[in-house]
Structure 1
Amino acid sequence: MSNAYDVLIIGGGPAGLAAGLYASRSKLNTILLETNSQLGGQVSTYHEMENYPGVLDTTAPELMDNFKEHAKSFGTKIEKAEVQEVETGDFIKTIKTKDGIKYQAKSVIVATGAEPRRLGVPGEEEFKGKGVSYCATCDADFFVDLEVVVVGNGNSAIEEALYLTKFASKVTVIVIHDQGTMDADKIYQERAYQNDKIEFVWNSTLEEVKGEGLVDTAVLKNVKTGEKTDFSCDGIFIFIGRVPRTDFLEGIVDLTDNGYIKTNDKLETSVPGVYAAGDVRNKFLRQVVTAAADGATTAAAAGGYIEEEEYWQENVLEAEEDVLVAFWSPTNEESLKMTGKLENMDLEAKGVKLVKIDTYKNTRISNRYDVTEVPTLLKIEDGEVAEKITQPTETEIEELI
């Protein structure tokens, strides 16, 4: 199949691009699918980038361009496509796009990130793109010398409010908390308080969006008194968190109640060979640097998974003869003795193939066959377990053969 790859990455943000870089550099045939024409994910919609280690003078879009070029330089193939379905098999996964194209991959890395959360208030959807925005970097230049409202008080909201002051004549931040209390880091709070163009409305939320063709009024509600006020403005920017893009994975991998992907320490999902990186997974810190680290981790884990599975498929499941699988550990003396005996028994002459599995390096195969002690022997016939013996005696080994 021409659309067959070792690793398929869904999402072209920092996590996906870092995964592409590391996977391609490891000589894995890698493709990255991104819904949008512009790579970089949510990061590319910001401007400032001052906390990526070792990079002192760059913008967010510039950094993402560098991520893209770096991944492509090692051979990552990048295509524009929206993934709608992932089918998981024993080893090969099938990925279907909105356009009906099918891809096959031995491992899949989900790096779809999260999109801006909607408030769901009256007028929000109606005025989207007509004064309601979720991206200051994208739309700030439409509001030169105009007055805008920012809803939210986290890092993203305050950072975007500061950016908007470069264009708008006035930026009013709507904060749900008491005066002087915000969720943003102190450094952002201090910058906002010191900016003459920024003002605050405390203990309030956005209740409704109004306008005649374009936004001209934000209806604010005081959360303590319940009083509603018409606030005149030319635009409303909403930054109240994000929602993970995992709709296409419901029922496929384990998700949290909020829709984030659950992962283990190798960032593998509940499905073997399917990994998650970046903002889409359940994690403590969501930053460009942690997304990039996730990408590197998933690429390395995917490479190990592919190597282990290919070896098992080729040497055990697809073997023409019976296979004796010896699970051993270099730190276990009994298992070393067992493998030594097996190697000296001329098994080939008896029509039996010997495969040794180091339980330290090949945890996946050990776990799959519930091998908790070494030495353990499995006899595989036609790809199925015919017999399993833990701590086998010499007599038991002879009988097994």
Structure 2
Amino acid sequence: MSDKKIENVIIIGSGPAGLTSAVYSARANLEPLMIEGEEAGGQLMITTEVENYPGFEHGITGPDLISVMRKQAERFGTRFITRNVTKVDFSSRPFKVYVGNDLYEAKTVIISTGASAKLLGLPSEKQYMSRGVSACATCDGAFFRNMEVGVVGGGDTAMEEANFLTRFASKVYIIHRSDNFRASKIMLDRAKKNPKIEFIEHSVVEEVLGDGKSINAVKMRDTRTNEVNEKKLQGLFIAIGHRPNTKLFEGILDMNEAGYLVTKAGSTYTNVDGVFAAGDVQDPIYRQAITAAGSGCMASIDSERWLEANEGH
């Protein structure tokens, strides 16, 4: 057994939810330990301009926003381990959190491992991410004023993103692999009625084309004829869903059918007493930096009150 101290709180994950809970927990003298992961910072790290986070009137880049939050958490005494958690055991107290062979023990755990946008998996998509390719219309739509853009997907997310983009783009093409849509009838009808939206069915994006700096076209293949053609576009939004980063907690914590952690209404409590979840890992609906930060604050307050009631901290 380790002779290390038992932590008051271990925070797993380091996006806005985790960092906000770290700021609050550190200011409450709980000396939080954050295991931030090797790809620290979450989805904001692949976002260029963030213009909708209150307090930054001229906008801020995603990595800069994370950097400011991290420094703030550090200033109040948060300790960081920049490695990935490999296993957790919440079956008895103190809770066990493993990083490889290293064991850390905690009275409470805040899970803020976030979610990842599902992508097409093309090298060119990766190359042009944040240079015309985006996984978030609410984040990036305003950069595409009077441009023609594409949205890949056939569910409610894709319809929603397409409708939102028509506020800025001159034309929005919804690119879908079949003519069978998962989207609800009301969302599909709304998109079909929008004069700025055109559907390209039975098509998959094979490659994103550009000049190295930004995209200017996509290569599409017809799923029926295998015919390949090019479509001039200045933006491409991938809207095929998000995957919560919850593999670690399978069989341990309650999840919904999509894998999001289930928290008790109006709180960050999971089904394991003393384990809390904040941010996109438990939020399939809003998925914004500001809502993640807000729920990170809630998780910290929930864990602090839990400690007071159970540990007499």
What TM-score does the superposition give when structure 2 sets the normalisation length?
Answer: 0.74
Are the counterparts in 2 of residues 175 and 200 from structure 1 also a CA contact under 8 Å?
no
Secondary structure, in 3 states, of the residue corresponding to 2:167? helix
Distance 1:186 1:266 in 2: 32
Give the corresponding residue for 1:231.
229
Please list, as runs of the form range in 1=range in 2, the aligned pairs for 1:323-338 lying within 5 A after superposition: none
Give the corresponding residue for 2:26.
24
Deviation at 1:158, TM superposition (A): 7.1
Give the corresponding residue for 1:256.
256
Give the corresponding residue for 1:290.
291
Distance 2:201 2:247 in 1: 31
Distance 1:303 1:151, change over 3 A: closer
User: 1:98-137: CA deviations, max 9, x gaps?
Assistant: x322111111111011112145xxxx4xx43xx1328723
Give the corresponding residue for 2:14.
12
Give the corresponding residue for 1:278.
279
Deviation at 1:96, TM superposition (A): 1.0
AA paired with 2:80?
Answer: I
AA paired with 1:76?
Answer: T
**1:45 and 2:43 are equivalent in the alignment:** no
Give the corresponding residue for 2:189.
none
Larger Rg, first or second structure (1 or 2): 1
AA paired with 1:12?
Answer: S
Distance 1:174 1:49, change over 3 A: closer
Give the corresponding residue for 2:211.
none
Are the counterparts in 2 of residues 263 and 282 from structure 1 also a CA contact under 8 Å?
no
Distance 1:306 1:244 in 2: 27
Distance 1:118 1:71 in 2: 31
Distance 1:4 1:118 in 2: 39
Give the corresponding residue for 1:190.
167
Deviation at 1:230, TM superposition (A): 1.2
AA paired with 1:244?
Answer: P
Are the counterparts in 1 of residues 144 and 168 from structure 2 also a CA contact under 8 Å?
no
User: 1:239-285: CA deviations, max 9, x gaps?
Assistant: 42210000110000000000000001321100011110000004532
Secondary structure, in 3 states, of the residue corresponding to 1:22? helix
Secondary structure, in 3 states, of the residue corresponding to 1:190? coil
Give the corresponding residue for 2:125.
132
Are the counterparts in 2 of residues 109 and 298 from structure 1 also a CA contact under 8 Å?
yes
Please list, as runs of the form range in 1=range in 2, the aligned pairs for 1:342-381 lying within 5 A after superposition: none
Distance 1:288 1:232, change over 3 A: same
Are the counterparts in 2 of residues 91 and 309 from structure 1 also a CA contact under 8 Å?
no
Deviation at 1:159, TM superposition (A): 4.9
Distance 1:205 1:246, change over 3 A: farther
Distance 1:301 1:134, change over 3 A: farther
Distance 1:133 1:309 in 2: 47
Distance 1:172 1:231 in 2: 16
**1:95 and 2:93 are equivalent in the alignment:** no
**Structure 2 unaligned regions, length at least 5:** 173-195, 209-216
User: 1:175-230: CA deviations, max 9, x gaps?
Assistant: 557xxx941286642212289xxx9762336536369xxxx9733448xxx56541
Computed over aligned residues only, the root mean square deviation of the Cα atoms, in angstroms, reads 3.6
1:202 to 185, 192, 199: 199
1:82 to 81, 84, 96: 84
Deviation at 1:72, TM superposition (A): 0.9
Distance 1:205 1:174 in 2: 14
Are the counterparts in 1 of residues 52 and 59 from structure 2 also a CA contact under 8 Å?
no
Distance 1:20 1:151 in 2: 29
Distance 1:14 1:134 in 2: 25
**1:69 and 2:71 are equivalent in the alignment:** yes
Distance 2:49 2:280 in 1: 19
Give the corresponding residue for 1:392.
none
Distance 1:77 1:279 in 2: 23
Are the counterparts in 2 of residues 176 and 203 from structure 1 also a CA contact under 8 Å?
no
Deviation at 1:311, TM superposition (A): 3.7
Distance 1:46 1:158 in 2: 12
Distance 1:205 1:107 in 2: 49
Q: Which has the higher contact order (CA 8 A, sep 6+)?
A: 2
Distance 1:135 1:84 in 2: 31
Deviation at 1:24, TM superposition (A): 0.6
**Structure 1 unaligned regions, length at least 5:** 141-147, 313-401
Secondary structure, in 3 states, of the residue corresponding to 1:27? coil
AA paired with 2:305?
Answer: G
Give the corresponding residue for 1:346.
none
Distance 2:37 2:19 in 1: 14
